[in-house]
Structure 1
Amino acid sequence: MTYVYPALLEAILDTAVDAIIVINEGGIIQTVNPATTKLFGYSDAELLGQNVNILMPAPYHQEHDGYLKNYRETGQAKIIGIGREVIGRRKDGSTFPMHLAVSEMDIGGSKMFAGIVRDISDLKQAQQLLTDINQQLEQRVQQRTIELRNAQAELLKAEKLATLGKVSGGIAHEIRNPLNALRTSTYYLQHAHQPTPEKLQEHLERIDRQVALINSVVTALSDIARLPEPERETCRLDQLIANVMPTVTMPANVTVINQVNAETAPVVSVDPDQLAIVLRNLIRNARDAMPEGGTLTLSAERTSGQVRVVVRDTGVGIAGEELRQIVEPLYSTKARGMGLGLAISKAILDKHHGRLEFNSEIGVGTTCEVHLPAAENLP
């Protein structure tokens, strides 16, 4: 196939998305493409024959002729064949960051220079936004680090040093994944060549989500360590359960059987807000154990100075090894679980001189028992 090369070159200039400016040795503009007039706001007639420094703000405007003179005399190129970030000036006087790549040509024995200009305002804005996010992340990490150190001190005072190794491993596991996602998005934003606004927004939102996830992990750990002493009240279990149930969303394929009624419900002396956390965690776990549907049964009774609350599901069940670890901080059988719900529940019951017990069978379901001392048997 034979091309008419002048026509082809003209078509390339006319359709190029980047601004293309050709100048002679003296810096006088010889030709520009439509992208140039669109970017800088000048017409062809206003640019042709003008010194190219018309497109530069101070101090580049004054220095450009000196660069050309120095190149003619010494042959030392500061930008030719290299490309760099500079500042451009539009006709209305506004400035913007741009990437400029310059190539040298020999046309009929005369040197000419072609500059390709790309507006990088969006990229610079994204980089600044990334810098701001990194600064905020650093501040939040510093703040959470202090809180985590305080939480660790509380753990030591409470003689929980034996579990610190497991907790540390769990923290590393829970935080490493979001940190990897942060690193990936940061690398993309730093190295992407003119990314689309949609891609910029996608990665910035991902960074924000991962920061929030790290924040939630550390906050939950701090909450465990700073759990206040319970403020006990005399409460009926049927009322406590009635208050908790509306706060847990139940799918249509899960049937709830609540056998705790006003006539038979034991009375306990507990902190109602703290015990509500325990009940809510157990009910949510039972619900989540039945993704294909099933039955959740609640019951309570008083036996031998103890009050026993039972939460039973007909879900997938828990294997023996996992059953022995489910109350450890940051251990979870759920794909997206943080592994803190049962750890918090155990910490609350410890302060109430109570305990958790679990029995489970794979494919049959799990029974969780909350044991609390009767009011008159409290120390």
Structure 2
Amino acid sequence: MHAKREIVAKGKRVEAPQPFAREEHLRSILDAVPDAMVVIDERGLIISFSAAAEKMFGYREAELLGENVSRLMPSPDRERHDGYLRRYYETGQPKIIGIGRVTTARRRDGTTFPIDLHIGEARLGEDRVFTGFIHDLSERQETERQLHRLQSELAHVSRVTTMGTLATSIAHELNQPLTAIANYTETARELLKSPDPATLAIVQEALADCAQQSIRAGQIVRRLRDFISGGQPERRVESLSRLINEASAMALVSARERGVEVEISLDQDADAVLVDRIQIQQVLFNLMRNAMEAMEGSRTKILKIRSAQDAHGFVRVSVSDSGPGLDGDIAAKLFHPFISTKATGMGLGLSICQTIVRGHEGRIWAEPSRLGGTAFNFTLVNAGVKDG
């Protein structure tokens, strides 16, 4: 039997709880925590699985004790998890521990969902354990989708109003030089009906004035374009794999339900990129959602996301699908504004993607994919490559 112990709390002596009672008390506290909690040992084997985790993943704790935690992960994290642990033990450099990240988890029925994952490390005697606190982002994402729909409706009204105002402004600004060009051209045409040395000199002067007015019109367009673009993005060194994981957690949340098989293959030697994180995630999100929608009516639905080192200090990112591919007429002007493959699309998504990528000194293009559909590629500055 354990000897009774007493402790002093606020001047009063109270009996300390026995080990079994303490364990039960701790378990009751953990079961009340709303976020899921999973504890693993150094080998990645599950040693504790909270009640919230049972509800979230659809497993009973007894089913998972002693199982590898990768069972709760979709590909490619499932196959790579043990390697992540080994690399941490060898280098001591954490990729997630103490940092937190948005990623994707896998339920018992195979469906995937976005999560916010935070991992802590602790010592139990000579043993090392890792505790993961998991928050399901599905509900928040649905709320955000509803807000996004409302914002889209408001944005549509705003765009129509803004485009009307912009069109009026452009028409007003360009009216003078275009009218002048028309007048000078008409004058030159009339004078050339009976050309002589005197009229030819006037025609040359009129054509020179036309050239000046066309330059003025181009300057007006450039000034408006510069005003709309709003300057250069704020770029920092970021992990490309983290950007892709976070974007895919949101963009591909319903992939399995739609029958889409997702494959992610990333070059860890080309992971550091110089980017504006939000803007590049917008590009990734748009390309992934476009790929999903392109395969809506396809029998085979495969989406591949890859990264690799590219020439001249760049990293190439590819998003490929097994959809029907692009019509030749559309492909030629795919990145032009107001060109869309969707019946209800405004045709601005890919144009915005191109603007963002070019603002990052990269390029973006589409080509037929080996899956039979379309592969969208874009390049980013490789921050891991030093000049010279």
TM-score category, normalised to shorter length: 0.3 to 0.5
**Structure 2 length as normaliser, TM-score?**
0.40
> Which structure has the greater CA radius of gyration?
1
Q: TM-score when scaled to structure 1?
A: 0.41
